[in-house]
A and B are shown apart, each in its own frame.
Chain A
C-alpha cells in the first residue's frame, strides 16, 4: 500500500446534490444498509469503497431507485435530490432515472448499432427534434465518452462488437446522452484490463466538470486516483466519510485503517 498514488485535487465545495438521511435497506429479512447518512456534492467524484457484500452497491442502487425492480427490497429513510425526496409517492422512478444515470459493472450495450445505443435514451425522452439534432447529441455523447474517434467511422456497427473497454465507454456515453445530473457507476472497471481502466478513469475525471459522479469500486487505488470524497462501507454501515485524502492518509476509524492497509476485506 506504500506505492499508492494519491492525486491531490481541490474539492469544490459546491452545493449538496444528494442528501441521504437515516437510510435503511432490507432484502426480505436481511438488513443490508443500516442507518446511512451521506451528503454527495455536485461536480464531485464520490467513491464508495468497502469489502464485498458491505452494501455499497445496494446503496448506490437506492440513489436512482434501481432497487425498485427487486420485489423483496425495502428502503426506509430519506434520500433528497436537490432537496426533493426521491422516494416520495409522487416521484416516477422513470423520470428520476433520466436525471440520475447509471453505468453498470459489466458493459451492457444493447445488441444494436453504436448509434442506436446512444440514440435510444434521447429518443425515448424526446430530446431531439429531428435527425440532425439526434446526430449532434450522439456525437456529443460519444465525444464525452472519449470513444468518438474510435467509432466515428462505424456508427452502424453493432455495439456488442467493440472491445470490453470500448463497450464500457460506450455505456458511459449512453448514460450521459440523456443529460443526467448525477452519474452512478457500479464498479465500472472491474471487467476491464488496466489500460481500459486508465482510459475510463481519465474519462471519469473529465465528467466531473458536468456531473456529480458516484462510483463504487473495489480498488482503493482507483478510489484514491479518481475521487475527491470517499465513503467507507462495512457490514452495511457507513463507517467513515470524508475527503479522499483524509480517508487514505489519516483515517479516523480503526476499521477504515484496517481496510486501507489491507488487514480486512
Chain B
C-alpha cells in the first residue's frame, strides 16, 4: 500500500508506459475506423447527390396544352368513321393540325413573333406528338370533327430550355430551333400554355429513336429486367439450393467434392462477359433460342448467379448448429427429414440474403447482355403477354442506361441518370421484399 503511494510506477492512478501505448494504439485504430466509415459516407452522399441532381429532371417533361381541332375533311374524308380508313391517315395528316393549333394559340395570346407560318411551330412540337394524337383518334374515332384539349409533347430543346439545359447562346448553330422560338416559349409559358408536368411516360414508356429523347422511357426495359429476374429466380434458387444441400449434407468428403467446391468458388470470380459468350454459344447458336430474349438473358445471368447462391447457402447451412441435426436424427428422423424439417428452415434467412445479393448483381449486369444482343436493341413496344415477356426481343435496365449514356443528345444524358434512379428504386423494392420474407422465416434458437 505504502509502496504504491510512494512509488508512482506501481500506482493504479498513473498509466504505465505499456498501457499508454496500448491505449494509443486502440485510439488510433478507432480513428481509422471512423475515418473509413466517414469516407464511405461522403462518397455515398456525393453519389446520391449526383444521381438525384442529374436524374430528377428526367421525371419532368414539358407539354403544350392547346385545343386541337380534329378536322373531319383531313382525317376521315369519307365521313363514315371506318376505322380502316382512319388508320390510313399517317402522322403526316396530324402534324399540320397540331402546328395550326399551336400557331393559333400564339396568335390568340398576342405574342410578338417573327414567325408567320404554322410550319414554323415545328421546332416546338415533338415528332411524337402527332403519333400520340393519332393513337388517341384511332382509339376513339368519335373525336373526329371535335376540338379537344391535347397535351402536345414539346421537343427536347424546348424541354431543355425550361430546365435550363439549353440556352439561347447554345442554339446559335442549331438547325432545329432558333433563339426566337424561345421568345415564343417564354410567352406561352407566361400564359400557362407551356408547362412541365410529371412524366409517367418515362416510367412506363419505351425507348425512342436518337432524335426524340423527349419520348424515351424506361418501361419496356423494366419489363425486360423483370422477366430476366424471374428466370434467374426460378432457375438459380432451386438449382443453387439443391446443389448446396447435397454438397453440404449428403455428399461424401472426398477429392471429387473438394474439386467441385474449389470450382464453384472459382466460378464466382469469372468475369461476367465470359458467361455472356457462353450464353451466345450455347443458348443462341446451339439451342437456337431467340436472340435478345429475356429468357436467354435470364439463363446467362442464372449461370452467373449460381455460385453466389451456392456459396451463401452452404455458409448458412453450415451455420445451423449441429445439435439440431443430432436432435432430429436422435428421434429417428431420416437424413432428408432432418434437413428439410429443421436445417433448411433455420438456414432460410441466410439463403434469402444470398439470393437477393445474387439477384441484385444480376440486375445490374450489362456485359453478358452485350453478347446476346440485349444492348442497343430498341424495344419500341411492350412485349406481347406473359410468354412474350420471356421470348420477345427486349432490353434490360442497365443496358438501356448504357445505351442512353452513349447517345449524342444531352437530353439523353439526363435520361440516363433518371434511368439509374429507376434502377435503384427497382433494386430497393427487391430488397424490401427480401427483408419482409426474411422477417417471416427468422426464428430464434
Give A contacts to B, CB under 8 Å: 64, 66, 69, 71, 94-95, 97-98, 101-104, 106, 108-111, 120-121, 124-125, 158, 160, 171, 174-175, 177-178
Contact = CB atoms under 8 A, between A and B. Distances in A.
Contact of B333 (A106, A124, A171, A175): A124
Nearest to B327: A108
B444 interface: yes
A102 B333 contact: no
Contacts of A160: 444-445
A23 B342 CA distance: 33
Given A97-B331, A102-B326, 6 more contacts: A66-B329, A69-B329, A108-B324, A111-B346, A121-B333, A124-B337
A110 B334 CA distance: 16
A98 B337 CA distance: 14
Contacts of B252: 71
Nearest to A95: B332
Interface in B70-111: none
Given A71-B253, A158-B444, A160-B444, A104 B324 contact: no
B326 A174 contact: no
30 contacts: A66-B326, A71-B252, A94-B333, A97-B331, A98-B331, A101-B330, A101-B331, A101-B332, A102-B326, A102-B330, A104-B330, A108-B321, A108-B323, A108-B326, A108-B327, A109-B327, A110-B327, A110-B342, A111-B443, A120-B328, A120-B331, A120-B341, A121-B331, A121-B332, A124-B332, A125-B332, A171-B327, A174-B331, A175-B330, A175-B331
A54 B374 CA distance: 66
Contacts, number: 68
Given A71-B252, A110-B342, A94 B334 contact: yes
A153 to B, nearest CB: 21
B325 interface: yes
Contacts of B445: 111, 160
Nearest to B346: A111
B329 A106 contact: no
Contacts of B323: 104, 106, 108
B67 to A, nearest CB: 69
Contacts of B321: 108
A178 B333 CA distance: 11
Interface string B159-198: 0000000000000000000000000000000000000000
B346 A104 contact: no
A69 B444 CA distance: 25
Contacts of B329: 66, 69, 97
B160 to A, nearest CB: 60
A124 B443 CA distance: 22
Contacts of A121: 331-333
B332 A98 contact: yes
B327 A104 contact: yes
Contacts of A178: 331-332
A174 B321 CA distance: 19
Interface string B298-334: 0000000000000000000000010111111111111
Given A71-B252, A108-B324, A160-B444, A97 B330 contact: yes
Contact of A69 (B253, B324, B325): B325
A82 to B, nearest CB: 17
A110 B443 CA distance: 11
B347 to A, nearest CB: 12
